[in-house]
């Protein structure tokens, strides 16, 4: 073959991981570093434990014209660097590194949490949950700190001790680090448990879970050494940037086509723009979202997820009505497997209700002063929001119902619960929020969430959900622009190009020796119009406030001090501290005020103790450089 010669063969996962460890299989040196977070690792472990496919790998045989510099997989022994690899891994680095780190390396894994905290984790499988047919397998996979002690109540109470093999045996938690070599662990377990029931439990766990790892095979597309440079470059580009794997929507489309239904036309249409049958969903979303705002990134699989939540709930209720229990009860979910099992009649039954749910979600989010995708805390939280609104219908318009929805939404945002691996959270909220609205117990998203007071100091990322949440709360509570005095309603927001800007400007902070990790905090930021930020420039607050009061008629009328103070107060700013450039006092005062605002939104007290949160902050300010232009008084 002139361009590329390849073959596809299945390989045992264990053998591939050993090749990574020895250096027989390495990476091209230009591959990016390993970056998977804790929840994605758990999801991968869960998939392999159930013998679910995790995708094919692609390798390139070395020794040909294509001569990439090799690099061992992250965490491989130092000796691997001296080995000439047999092949390079072009696609599958993240999956293979994750599995190697948790299963063969024998050391604690450095990863990050959904809150962007750098942490060290050991991974375990809860044997009882893994064998429970009702529990989602991902919920059976846990990550524990380096000392293998899981604590609650801010570190005061140990709720799970896995610090020794005996404690692992006692708590029935199997270490993933021994997933391919269980003999010694099983011997110790049988010595610890004389009870035959416990021994039978492990035998069942070994058969149903552990043996899945040992027999797991991965398809490998192997490009041989005769593959041309051009072909390798094209393939590598496709699998790393431009390539798009077949997604659930496309697979469901193919299945529905066999029954004569053109699902693609429901979503994309056929070129018509009349809002008719073809392309009705995209058309409806565009009409509701003219500024390409909060619904701009709603995808076709998001829509199918909402339909799937209703369908799987129907199935569970039917099973309960028939008296079924335990493993006989189906799971309520919108995950990929559920989408691939979604029958056409269920799609037709709930498509209109799902559409109404998303359109109502846009209205709801606008009431919270979230107007555009750039300011949306979590894209993934729109899915349960749409499903809940579709379920409760017009009831959301009632004040008491809406208050509960608002409380749930902000607990999800400030609890930072929708960062990754959210399928279980979505299903749980769908099942728990509507009953709560109708008088039942609070959902776990509300009852189990705690916000830490010191979190405000570390909110520096423009992409952080909590960061965006503070901005929206300020606008919702009536913040008015410093210069114009106008509240940030929908018209002003877009007409005045409102965005988040520094209160003590960056230039002033740098000149006064204040570090970015302090002045870039959300405590020192607030929503302002573009023209107002230009007027502020890089000067001290005392200077730019005087400039605003003095004005520059007729373009910039003078502003009365009392009126300007009222505008500052609407941003939870103490005007006296700002006018005297008292940065430290201002930061402490505004942190307290913002914290009270968040507590009001979540309807609960924040944690103000001194126990530090596990992990190091992995945040930076990525707003870019603001246009801090000094406008001379005229």
Q: Per residue in 530-563, pLDDT tens?
A: 989 888 999 999 999 999 999 776 667 889 999 9
pLDDT value, residue 624: 35
Q: Which residues pair with 173 in a beta bridge?
A: 126
**Does residue 222 have a pLDDT over 60?**
yes
Average pLDDT over residues 565-586: 96
Residue 261 in domain: no
Phi, psi dihedrals of residue 205, rounded to the nearest 5°: -65, -40
Tokens standing for 579?
Answer: 């006018």
Of these ranges, 135-139, 325-329, 537-541, 616-620, the one predicted with the greatest mean pLDDT is 537-541
| Judgement on whether residues 308 and 395 belong to the same structural domain of the protein | yes
Q: Sign of dihedral through CA atoms 492, 495, 499, 502?
A: negative
Residue 401 in domain: yes
**Does residue 190 have a pLDDT over 60?**
yes
Three-class secondary structure of residue 173 per DSSP: strand
| Judgement on whether residues 505 and 558 belong to the same structural domain of the protein | yes
**Does residue 13 have a pLDDT over 60?**
yes
pLDDT value, residue 630: 32
Percent helix, percent strand, percent coil in the chain, to nearest 5: 50, 10, 35
Residue 415 in domain: yes
pLDDT value, residue 524: 96
Greatest alpha-carbon span in the chain:
90
**Does residue 292 have a pLDDT over 70?**
no
Question: Which residue in the block uniquely carries the two structure tokens 């416990």?
Answer: 198
- Minimum mean pLDDT range among 65-69, 73-77, 319-323: 65-69
**Could you give the number of structural domains in the chain?**
4
pLDDT value, residue 30: 63
- Minimum mean pLDDT range among 121-135, 237-251, 434-448, 470-484: 237-251
**Measured between alpha carbons, how far is 209 from 342 in angstroms, rounded to an integer?**
27
Range of the structural domain that residue 139 is part of: 111-212
How many CB atoms are closer than 10 A to CB 618?
Answer: 15
pLDDT value, residue 559: 92
* Residue 23, CA distances (Å) to 66, 97, 188 in order: 19, 13, 32
Residue 632 in domain: no
What angle do the packed helices 382-392 and 300-321 form, to 10 degrees? 50
pLDDT value, residue 314: 94
pLDDT value, residue 28: 82
Q: Which residues pair with 60 in a beta bridge?
A: 88, 223
pLDDT value, residue 247: 64
Q: Per residue in 605-614, pLDDT tens?
A: 999 887 766 6
| Judgement on whether residues 523 and 595 belong to the same structural domain of the protein | yes
How many CB atoms are closer than 10 A to CB 429?
Answer: 28
Residue 367: pLDDT band (50, 70, 90) is: very high
| Judgement on whether residues 466 and 592 belong to the same structural domain of the protein | yes
State the chain's mean pLDDT as an integer: 86
Listed residues 162, 191, 212: the one ending a domain: 212
- Minimum mean pLDDT range among 2-6, 376-380, 406-410, 488-492: 2-6
Average pLDDT over residues 345-364: 93
Three-class secondary structure of residue 101 per DSSP: helix
DSSP string, 137-151: GGGGEEEE-TTSEEE
**Measured between alpha carbons, how far is 598 from 440 in angstroms, rounded to an integer?**
24
Tokens standing for 385?
Answer: 């929001």
**Does residue 631 have a pLDDT over 50?**
no
Residue 625 in domain: no
| Judgement on whether residues 373 and 460 belong to the same structural domain of the protein | no
Residue 288: pLDDT band (50, 70, 90) is: low
Whether 415 and 445 have beta carbons less than 8 Å apart is answered as yes
| Judgement on whether residues 420 and 337 belong to the same structural domain of the protein | yes
Residue 262: pLDDT band (50, 70, 90) is: confident
**Does residue 117 have a pLDDT over 80?**
yes
Residue 622 in domain: no
**Measured between alpha carbons, how far is 446 from 384 in angstroms, rounded to an integer?**
14
Of these ranges, 144-158, 386-400, 480-494, the one predicted with the greatest mean pLDDT is 386-400
Average pLDDT over residues 4-32: 85
The more confident residue out of 534 and 329 is 534
Spatial CA neighbour of 556 closest among 578, 581, 529, 522? 529
| Judgement on whether residues 399 and 548 belong to the same structural domain of the protein | no
Q: How many angstroms from the chain centroid is the CA of residue 574?
A: 35
- Minimum mean pLDDT range among 51-65, 328-342, 466-480: 328-342
| Judgement on whether residues 182 and 331 belong to the same structural domain of the protein | no
**Does residue 628 have a pLDDT over 50?**
no
pLDDT value, residue 136: 84
Residue 275 in domain: no
Q: Sign of dihedral through CA atoms 434, 436, 440, 444?
A: positive
556 burial level (CB within 10 Å; 0-12, 13-18, 19+):
middle
DSSP string, 199-233: HHHHHHHIIIIIHHHHH-EEEEEEE-TT--HHHHH
Residue 357: pLDDT band (50, 70, 90) is: very high
Whole-number percent of the chain with pLDDT over 70: 87
| Judgement on whether residues 493 and 522 belong to the same structural domain of the protein | yes
pLDDT value, residue 261: 84
Q: Which residues pair with 617 in a beta bridge?
A: 117
Pairing of strands 87-91, 25-28: parallel
pLDDT value, residue 276: 43
Average pLDDT over residues 277-300: 62
- Minimum mean pLDDT range among 98-107, 132-141, 154-163, 625-634: 625-634
| Judgement on whether residues 413 and 481 belong to the same structural domain of the protein | no
| Judgement on whether residues 492 and 471 belong to the same structural domain of the protein | yes
The more confident residue out of 4 and 357 is 357
| Judgement on whether residues 588 and 502 belong to the same structural domain of the protein | yes
**Measured between alpha carbons, how far is 372 from 297 in angstroms, rounded to an integer?**
10
Whether 410 and 377 have beta carbons less than 8 Å apart is answered as no
Whether 38 and 206 have beta carbons less than 8 Å apart is answered as no
Question: Which residue in the block uniquely carries the two structure tokens 């939104």?
Answer: 601
The more confident residue out of 155 and 525 is 525
Residue 203 in domain: yes
Residues 6+ apart with CB under 8 A from 580: 542
Spatial CA neighbour of 590 closest among 602, 600, 577? 577
Spatial CA neighbour of 47 closest among 421, 305, 316? 421
pLDDT value, residue 185: 96
Spatial CA neighbour of 141 closest among 43, 261, 288, 255? 43
pLDDT value, residue 633: 31
Spatial CA neighbour of 459 closest among 609, 611, 587? 587
* Residue 259, CA distances (Å) to 90, 249, 309, 349, 352 in order: 38, 16, 22, 16, 20
Q: Per residue in 468-513, pLDDT tens?
A: 999 999 999 999 999 989 988 777 787 778 889 999 999 999 999 9
Phi, psi dihedrals of residue 527, rounded to the nearest 5°: -70, 130
**Does residue 237 have a pLDDT over 80?**
no
**Measured between alpha carbons, how far is 327 from 118 in angstroms, rounded to an integer?**
37
Q: Per residue in 22-41, pLDDT tens?
A: 999 998 876 667 778 899 99
């Amino acid at each position: 073959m002139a361009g590329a010669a390849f073959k596809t063969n299945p390989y045992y996962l264990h053998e591939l991981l050993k090749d990574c460890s020895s250096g027989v299989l390495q990476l091209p040196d230009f591959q990016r570093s390993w970056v998977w977070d804790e929840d994605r690792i758990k999801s991968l472990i869960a998939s392999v434990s159930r013998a679910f496919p995790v995708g094919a790998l692609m390798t390139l045989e070395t020794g040909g014209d294509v001569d990439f510099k090799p690099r061992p997989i992250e965490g491989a022994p130092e000796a691997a660097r001296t080995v000439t690899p047999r092949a390079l891994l072009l696609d599958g680095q993240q999956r293979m590194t994750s599995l190697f780190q948790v299963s063969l390396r024998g050391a604690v894994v450095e990863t990050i949490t959904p809150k962007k905290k750098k942490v060290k984790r050991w991974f375990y499988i809860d044997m009882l949950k893994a064998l429970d047919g009702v529990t989602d397998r991902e919920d059976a996979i846990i990550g524990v700190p380096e000392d293998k002690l899981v604590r609650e109540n801010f570190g005061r109470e140990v709720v799970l001790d896995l610090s020794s093999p005996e404690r692992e045996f006692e708590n029935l938690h199997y270490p993933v680090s021994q997933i391919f070599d269980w003999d010694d662990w099983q011997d110790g377990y049988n010595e610890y448990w004389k009870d035959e029931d416990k021994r039978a439990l492990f035998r069942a766990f070994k058969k149903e879970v552990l043996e899945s790892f040992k027999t797991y095979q991965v398809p490998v597309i192997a490009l041989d050494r005769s593959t041309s440079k051009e072909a390798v470059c094209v393939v590598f580009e496709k699998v790393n940037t431009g390539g798009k794997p077949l997604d659930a929507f496309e697979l469901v489309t193919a299945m529905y086509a066999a029954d004569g239904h053109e699902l693609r036309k429901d979503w994309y249409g056929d070129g018509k723009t009349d809002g008719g049958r073809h392309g009705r969903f995209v058309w409806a979303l565009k009409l509701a979202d003219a500024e390409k705002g909060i619904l701009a990134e709603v995808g076709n699989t998001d829509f199918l997820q909402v339909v799937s939540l209703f369908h799987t709930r129907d199935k569970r209720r039917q099973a309960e009505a028939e008296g079924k229990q335990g493993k006989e009860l189906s799971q309520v979910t919108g995950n990929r497997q559920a989408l691939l099992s979604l029958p056409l009649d269920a799609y037709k039954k709930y498509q209109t209700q799902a559409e109404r749910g998303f359109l109502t979600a846009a209205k709801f989010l606008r009431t919270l002063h979230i107007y555009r995708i750039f300011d949306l805390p979590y894209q993934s939280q729109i899915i349960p929001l749409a499903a809940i609104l579709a379920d409760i219908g017009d009831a959301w318009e009632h004040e008491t119902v809406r208050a509960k929805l608002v409380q749930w939404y902000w607990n999800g945002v400030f609890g930072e619960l929708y960062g990754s691996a959210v399928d279980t959270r979505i299903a749980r909220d769908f099942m728990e929020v509507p009953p709560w609205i109708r008088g039942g117990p609070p959902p776990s998203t509300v009852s189990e969430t705690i916000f830490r007071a010191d979190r405000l100091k570390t909110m520096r990322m423009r992409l952080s959900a909590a960061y965006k949440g503070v901005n929206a709360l300020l606008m919702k509570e009536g913040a008015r622009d410093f210069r114009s005095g106008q509240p940030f309603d929908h018209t002003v927001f877009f007409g005045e190009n409102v965005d988040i800007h520094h209160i003590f400007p960056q230039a002033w902070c740098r000149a006064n020796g204040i570090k970015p990790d302090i002045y870039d905090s959300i405590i020192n930021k607030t929503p302002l119009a573009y023209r107002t930020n230009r007027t502020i420039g890089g000067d001290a607050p005392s200077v730019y406030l005087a400039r605003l009061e003095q004005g520059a008629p007729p373009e910039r009328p003078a502003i009365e001090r009392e009126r300007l103070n009222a505008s500052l107060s609407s941003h939870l700013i103490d005007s006296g501290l700002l006018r005297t450039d008292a940065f430290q006092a201002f930061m402490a005062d505004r942190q307290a005020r913002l914290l009270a605002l968040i507590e009001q939104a979540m309807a609960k007290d924040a944690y103000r103790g001194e126990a530090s949160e596990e992990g190091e902050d992995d945040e930076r300010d990525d707003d870019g450089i603001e246009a801090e232009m000094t406008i001379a008084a005229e």
